[in-house]
Structure 1
Amino acid sequence: MEWIFEPWPWYVAGPLIALIMFLLIFIGKGFGMSSNLRTMCTLCGADSKADFFDFDWKSQRWNLIVVVGAIIGGFIAANFLSNDLSVAINPETVSNLKELGFNSAGEAYLPTELFTWESVGGIKALIILLVGGILIGFGARYAGGCTSGHAISGLSNLQLPSLIAVIGFFVGGLLMVHILFPLIF
């Protein structure tokens, strides 16, 4: 049972994702986490305020279960199935991150300098969180879905807009890491 405490290799995780995608395509369902926000807004009464939220949310109940499962699964994995929460990353990357002030790089799963309640207290952190949240929300809506929806579901369905979106996600990520991140920190 020790294998369950270790990260699963790509040749196990990849085929499992492919199997799930095949089953979803077979039963006529699409996968994407950001579409759940629309469903949750409709459940909270947003359909009376905007036409965008006026749809049959009951047809998306199954996807809400996926969100709950992701939350519960993440909690179980982090609290019960993880012996070591550090991340094995390139030593040069660790060195570069430490130069930027991320002293927990390579030791913690998430940089404690960013992901603690104390780090949110400053105005800079609040602005970064606010602007980042707006950009992510706008980007997911503008792109017609989030990274998981396009990269997993859209590409599985051979959709050209998903391919364009995934290329955009990668280009944006590279720009963020190599240009904007060093400027911000």
Structure 2
Amino acid sequence: MLEFLSQPWPWYVSGIVIALVMVLLLFFGKSFGFSSNLRVICAACGAGKYASLFDFDWRAQTWNLLFLVGAIIGGFISSEFLSDGEAVRISQATIQDLRQLGIAAPKGLQPEEIFTLESVLSVRGFLILLLGGFMIGFGSRYAGGCTSGHAISGLSNLQLPSLIAVVGFFIGGLITTWLLLPLIF
């Protein structure tokens, strides 16, 4: 049984699960988005005393915190019990593109040149994380939500602002991939 679970599942399984979750959320009048968890955590810790953004009834959003905890627990279970430890299977073209940037093919789930403690504690790695974190935080606040919230929840509700945000996310991803990453690495 566990041998079946440790094999990669077909892509459409996650699509079906995401669709079922969205139907349930729509049925209960909720919307999905991961970036709102940070706002809920800050509000629960008392940040509402210092900034009006965090001054709201965070208890109404505790279900979203359960989703966050479930994602963390699910990731742990997947990596510890349902993974065979094999490297991520990526195409030869992607491996060649990574080599051109000075990144070796991943031996596990992610490239060691980017996701090791040594690279994170370097000046370059720290600045990349700091700037990337700022851009993600600012962008999700400015866009009124994160990629998952707009792309999954907003588009399923046929919201025009979500469509505009998702188009912007893709444009930003293309610019980062083709213009910024070669400059950074």
Q: Give the TM-score band, short-chain normalised.
A: over 0.9
Q: Deviations over 1:90-125 (max 9, x none)?
A: 20110121232212x243211111111111221111
**How far off is 1:87 after superposition?**
1.6
Structure 2 counterpart of 1:152: 152
Residue 119 to residue 106, structure 1, CA distance change in 2 (3 Å): closer
Structure 2 counterpart of 1:7: 8
Structure 1 counterpart of 2:124: 124
Q: Does 1:68 align with 2:69?
A: yes
Structure 1 counterpart of 2:28: 27
CA contact (8 A) 2:140 2:146 kept: yes
Alignment of 1:166-185 (within 5 A): 166-185=166-185
**How far off is 1:16 after superposition?**
1.2
**How far off is 1:11 after superposition?**
2.2
CA RMSD, aligned part only? 1.1
CA contact (8 A) 2:106 2:112 kept: no
Q: Deviations over 1:23-56 (max 9, x none)?
A: 1000101111100111101111111111111111
| Count of residues in Structure 1 that have an aligned counterpart in Structure 2 | 184
Structure 2: tracts of 5 or more residues without a match: none
CA contact (8 A) 2:150 2:165 kept: yes
Structure 2 counterpart of 1:135: 135
Distance 1:33 1:100 in 2: 30
TM, length-normalised to structure 1: 0.95
Alignment of 1:48-87 (within 5 A): 48-87=49-88
After the TM superposition, which parts of structure 1 deviate over 4 Å for at least 4 consecutive aligned residues? none
Structure 2 counterpart of 1:38: 39
Distance 1:139 1:47 in 2: 21
TM, length-normalised to structure 2: 0.95
Structure 1 counterpart of 2:108: 108
Structure 1: tracts of 5 or more residues without a match: none
Q: % of aligned pairs identical?
A: 60
**How far off is 1:85 after superposition?**
4.0
Provide the secondary structure at the position in 1 that maps to 2:89.
coil
**How far off is 1:62 after superposition?**
0.5
